[in-house]
Amino acid sequence: MATTVKGLKGVIQVPGDKSISHRSVMFGAIAEGTTTISGFLPGDDCLSTISCFQKLGVDIQMVNEETVIVKGRGIKGLKEPVDILDVGNSGTTIRLIMGILANTLHHHTLIGDESIAKRPMKRVTGPLREMGINLDGRQDANFTPLVIRGGKAKGIQYHSPVASAQVKSAVLLAGLQAEGTTSVTEPEKSRDHTERMLEAFGVQVKEDGLTVSIEGGQTLKGTHVEVPGDISSAAFFLVAGSIVPNSRIELKKIGINPTRTGILDALKKMGAAINTIAANREAAEPFADLVVETSSLKGTEIGGDLIPRLIDEIPIIALAATQAEGTTVIKDAAELKVKETNRIDTVVNELTKMGANIEATEDGMVIHGGTRLHGAQVNSYGDHRIGMMLAVASCIAEGETVIENRDAVSVSYPQFFNHLDLLKS
Ligand code: SPQ
């Protein structure tokens, strides 16, 4: 990609939120009646979710790229698939679907790509086994291929060792048909789309501090889901607009669910000029228009309960920190090691190739700011968020940057490079 950019200017509508798009299809599939989805993200991960539920007998039509109609089969109506369920690169699909399939007595084999084969599944298969569900897989059900035959779940009170929306969601979804009450307690609050969306589908969910509970035997009713823009995708432009000189970017209808807005808190603390120009905070999933302009950033410390609120944005925050004055310390983020890649290592290795002064730690990284980046041959290693972070880095790097495996961005943001080019012109 070309040499330093003179400024990024314009208005962008980033695609729909990935977490909400997955759940809209999944919950629509097990609801009674029809669910219509607008603003759906047609990224590879969400298309994997559609394809899995089609194999489970659900009629899902894409009216156009962003409008989907799901004809729900009810919670007991999924068919036994004649084929394996392939989740591609999507951790959300494989972990949540296990919760949904837990109470069927059907046979299912779940696989994914090379990255999924390395991601730990015991965090979900463990509690599901505790609930009485029959599951198996490589290394005692920790890795794909996984086989789930289901069973009749008993409610459990599960204390999760990690703050993970995927673990919480899988256990709660299994709890929907379990005997009695199922609850999940987390060390910190993870994103709460499952709780908010189950309520929109007519399910009662109770929250008490860090514990979420669900009563077994509830059914879902089809509804309309309006998916806001994905703040994790907007994050790349929030940082690009902050660090590329002479920039002003307006981002339309971005989801601002408080469990996802850690990126706004962190960037504002670093001195970023981000303003909200219109907001709907009453919607089940609140959203706002945001404007970012170039500013001088300073280093900061990021850790504790902020981490689950910005976990997917850490690669792009690390890039912002290379341009900040002073040092940025990111800690309590060991979860980064079990994402699409080990995101501590990939961020550190790839940004080092571009001249950043950055070190990996056991649970995060330390970034010494104020460095001039230079073009280099870098690699996304198939991780969409690394590919987009490197593309933003190339905008401030002197000389040419070549990003291998840049197509990985289609997992969550298929039009990313077009949008970046639009802002450059
Ligand atoms: O779906 P996948 O592959 O796990 O995607 C990622 C991402 O960067 O897009 C993580 F690699 O997002 C997860 C996120 O990190 C999506 C998610 C969800 O929709 O519930 C929750 C988070 O994961 P976790 O493990 O903390 O529950």
User: Which residues' Cβ are closer than 6 Å to ligand 1?
Assistant: 18-19, 45, 90-92, 164-166, 190-191, 311-312, 339-340, 385, 412
pLDDT in tens, 201-249: 999 999 999 999 999 999 999 999 999 999 999 999 999 999 999 999 9
Mutate which of 25, 339, 381, 409 for ligand 1? The one with the most ligand atoms within 8 Å of its CB, which is 339
For residue 263, give both structure tokens.
């990126």
pLDDT in tens, 22-80: 999 999 999 999 999 999 999 999 999 999 999 999 999 999 999 999 999 999 999 99
Interval 189-198 mean pLDDT: 98
Reported as half-sphere exposure (CB side, CA atoms, 13 A), residue 81 has a value of 18
| Amino acid, single-letter form, for residue 333 | A
Interval 323-336 mean pLDDT: 98
pLDDT at 114 > cutoff 80: yes
pLDDT computed for residue 108 by the predictor: 98
pLDDT in tens, 295-312: 999 999 999 999 999 999
CA-proximal residue: ligand 1, atom 12 (nearest): 312
Please classify residue 64 by burial: count the beta carbons closer than 10 Å to its beta carbon, then call 0-12 exposed, 13-18 middle and 19+ buried.
exposed
Spelled out in words, what is the top-level CATH class assigned to the domain 9-15+228-423? alpha beta
**Mapping DSSP to helix (H, G, I), strand (E, B) and coil, where does residue 80 land?**
coil
- Please give the mean pLDDT across all residues of the chain: 97
**C-beta of residue 60 within 8 angstroms of C-beta of residue 29:** yes
pLDDT in tens, 356-369: 999 999 999 999 99
pLDDT at 2 > cutoff 60: no
pLDDT computed for residue 150 by the predictor: 85
Catalytic sites, residue numbers:
312
**Distance between start and end Cα atoms, the chain:** 14
In the chain, CATH 3.65.10.10 sits at 9-15+228-423, 18-226
Hey, which CATH number is domain 18-226, 3.20.20.70, 3.30.450.90, 2.60.40.180, 3.65.10.10?
A: 3.65.10.10
The H or E element spanning position 321 is helix 314-322
Interval 110-117 mean pLDDT: 98
pLDDT computed for residue 23 by the predictor: 98
Measured in Å, residue 93 CA sits from the centre of ligand 1 at 10
Report the chain's C-alpha Rg in angstroms: 21
Q: Which pLDDT band holds residue 425 (cuts at 50, 70, 90)?
A: confident
The H or E element spanning position 69 is strand 67-73
Q: pTM for this structure? A: 0.98
Distances (CA, A) of 175 to 58, 149, 156, 203: 21, 16, 8, 12
pLDDT at 187 > cutoff 80: yes
The DSSP secondary structure of 351-388, one letter per residue, reads HHHTT-EEEEETTEEEEE--PPPB--EEE-TT-HHHHH
